[in-house]
Chains A and B, each alone.
Chain A
Amino acid sequence: MLTIENLHVSINDTPILKGINLHIGEGETVILFGPNGSGKTTLLYTVMGIGNYEVTEGKILFNGDDITRIPAYERARKGIGMSMQRPPSIHGLKTRGLVELCAGKEPIDIESLARKVNMEKFLDRDINLGFSGGEIKRSEILQLMAQRPNFVLFDEPESGVDVENIALVGAMAKELLEGSPEPNGKHSMHELMHTRRTSGLVITHTGYILDYIAADRGHVLYNGHLCCEDNPKRILDHLQKYGYQECIRCLT
């Protein structure tokens, strides 16, 4: 699904990503750990095609197409979606209006989608204006539910979310990635689980999100290099015990 080959990215001539190689297959969810300033958000933005980042070397392939140089909206139309950590507010654009835009020509039931993420009261408010951390996350997820991407980039789904909301955000992130299949007479659960195959690349600081979503692999991004491929819970345990110090050793 997504293949990143030897990706080098700079901002204002300062190299941030220094040769990233990563493959995420269909239906796979990958967790990305890393300290502040390691380049996690840069990687997500570069895959999405936004921000003032310059790809100096390497390429990004999505379903075999080279998307390294195409604009963000073309990537979105190919099925890449993103939940932003701090999206801007837009005066006069109601949440409802944006969710409709996300759905494009697909018919959607906005009210019932909004009910799922407890956002009914926000539909007629300007998007993100005065939203709390948890409200922003729920609004981002609502937009993605309408957009129905088959590859989701999640920038810190748990940041700024209070304890009460983390379960809801986690459950909805899971639903976005895995769908919400229920057994029926025609198909087995096994079949259903494989009909909707959404992949994901999720940045997390705290790892709380791992309590809710089933991740296949974890990586650590450190100083622009990707290292340490392992079970995400094991990586998290290790980071909680030893911090990122060990990564330095790994990379030298």
Chain B
Amino acid sequence: MNDIDLSKYEFSGHGSEQIEDLNRMADKEKQSMMMAGFDSSEKNRSASFVLIDHDHAFCKSYDPGVEILPLGLALKIHEGLADLQWNLVNPEKDEFTRLAADHVHGGYVIRVKKGARLTAPIQSCLMMHTEKVGQNVHNIVIVEEGAEAHILSGCTTTLADQKAAHIGITEFYVEKNASLTFTMVHNWGEQVEVRPRSVGQVEAGGVFLSNYISLKPVKNLQMYPKIVMKGAGSVSRFNSVIVATEGTYMDVGNRVILDAVDTRTEIVSHAIASGGTIVARGHIQANISPTKGHLECEGLLLNNGVIHAIPELDGRAEGVELSHEAAVGKIAKEEIEYLMIRGLDEEEASSTIIRGFLNIDIMGLPPELRAELDDAIAETENSMF
């Protein structure tokens, strides 16, 4: 793994002002937030949270079913919250968690109240604005019993060529029969180094759906979020779509622990290494039977890209059903020819296949984000030929 020299970044001194009106932000900022899934017009949103460099800049809920607070304030208001912080993630895990534990800049605490079924997504944007800024974020998400929510969590830099480092801790609590869809869109730049550290737990009957999209370059990103299926009958699904262009190094995957009967998980990742490097991991550990898990990793290589797929199945009880399929290679010749006999030239055929490969229909994203991502996919595609 490529290490990060944290001393190159400034982890203090970059406070930011409160934003009164998101609409009055600079267009460039609004645009880069939009590309990370944050709509500054806040149309059809239950709540919004923005953190810029070292301070939260905006935090508002529009739905009584959801409470959203900056971390510092939340810890003051809710006494019990401290027990949930650093409860799932071990602060001693590595130098990044230690740094975040010693010196956190903020983050969001989202609590979706018992039984609340939010129809509009909650959105958040963690933005790095200043050159050489280092940002430590700690988020806590609690979806109470029977509640249902979709969180769009975007991360971005204001400028594409900015140097920055982001450390993001997130702890997820999905309670009994609750459902959380968590969509993370990364919109980093060529000089950004990123270390998210996330752990979640899902209680009986709960559902955790995770979408991860990263289409833009990033210098060096490593994450291996872990979700523990703690309660009987809980279900999780992970869909990732990632592209690594030249200069990008990503070591990413999902780890799921099936720790109760009748739990299920499915991890599906689609990765394109177009000149960049991707280590595509996946790990399903089944401690008890009956449980079911499937791991799928599809990788396309273009322009001398590298994909190292490491799928792991770890069955610890008789009767578990674990499976995986992985395929890494160039675009299948049969698929190109199939489109060529319909009149598409080789380049048109390849780009049609790539667009399909990066298809995000299954994720259930709001239309404006889909449109934004479709544009980004078209742009990425063009860079591949």
Using a CB-CB cutoff of 8 Å, which residues 112-126 of chain B contact chain A?
none
Using a CB-CB cutoff of 8 Å, which residues 306-344 of chain B contact chain A?
332, 334-335, 337-344
Nearest residue (CB) in B for A143 is B342
Instruction: Decide yes or no whether B67 CB sits under 8 A from chain A.
Output: no
Question: Across the interface, which residues of B come within 8 angstroms of A76, CB to CB?
Answer: 340-343
Question: Across the interface, which residues of A come within 8 angstroms of B340, CB to CB?
Answer: 49-50, 71-73, 76
Instruction: Decide yes or no whether B104 CB sits under 8 A from chain A.
Output: no
Knowing A71-B346, A73-B344, A147-B343 touch, does A91 contact B357 (C-beta < 8 A)?
Answer: yes
Question: Across the interface, which residues of A come within 8 angstroms of B27, CB to CB?
Answer: none
- What DSSP secondary structure best describes chain A's contact surface? mixed
Give the bracket for the number of chain A residues in contact with chain B: 20 to 34
Using a CB-CB cutoff of 8 Å, which residues 328-367 of chain B contact chain A?
332, 334-335, 337-346, 349, 352-353, 355-359, 361
Proximity string of chain A (100-121) to chain B, C-beta cutoff 8 Å, 1 when within and 0 when not? 0110100000000000000000
Instruction: Determine which of B341, B349, B357 lies in contact with A92 in the assembled complex, contact meaning CB atoms within 8 Å.
Output: B357
Instruction: Decide yes or no whether B63 CB sits under 8 A from chain A.
Output: no
Indicate if the CB atoms of B343 and A104 lie closer than 8 Å.
yes
Give the bracket for the number of chain B residues in contact with chain A: 20 to 34
Question: Across the interface, which residues of B come within 8 angstroms of A104, CB to CB?
Answer: 343
Nearest residue (CB) in A for B334 is A88
Instruction: Decide yes or no whether A35 CB sits under 8 A from chain B.
Output: no
Instruction: Decide yes or no whether A84 CB sits under 8 A from chain B.
Output: yes
Q: Which residues of B contact A (CB under 8 A)?
A: 270, 298, 332, 334-335, 337-346, 349, 352-353, 355-359, 361
Instruction: Decide yes or no whether A90 CB sits under 8 A from chain B.
Output: yes
Question: Across the interface, which residues of A come within 8 angstroms of B298, CB to CB?
Answer: 91
Instruction: Determine which of B337, B345, B346, B356 lies in contact with A93 in the assembled complex, contact meaning CB atoms within 8 Å.
Output: B356
Q: Which 10 A-B pairs have the closest CB atoms?
A: A92-B359, A92-B356, A93-B356, A72-B340, A50-B337, A76-B343, A73-B340, A88-B334, A102-B342, A73-B345
Instruction: Decide yes or no whether A48 CB sits under 8 A from chain B.
Output: yes
Question: Across the interface, which residues of A come within 8 angstroms of B342, CB to CB?
Answer: 76, 98, 101-102, 143, 147
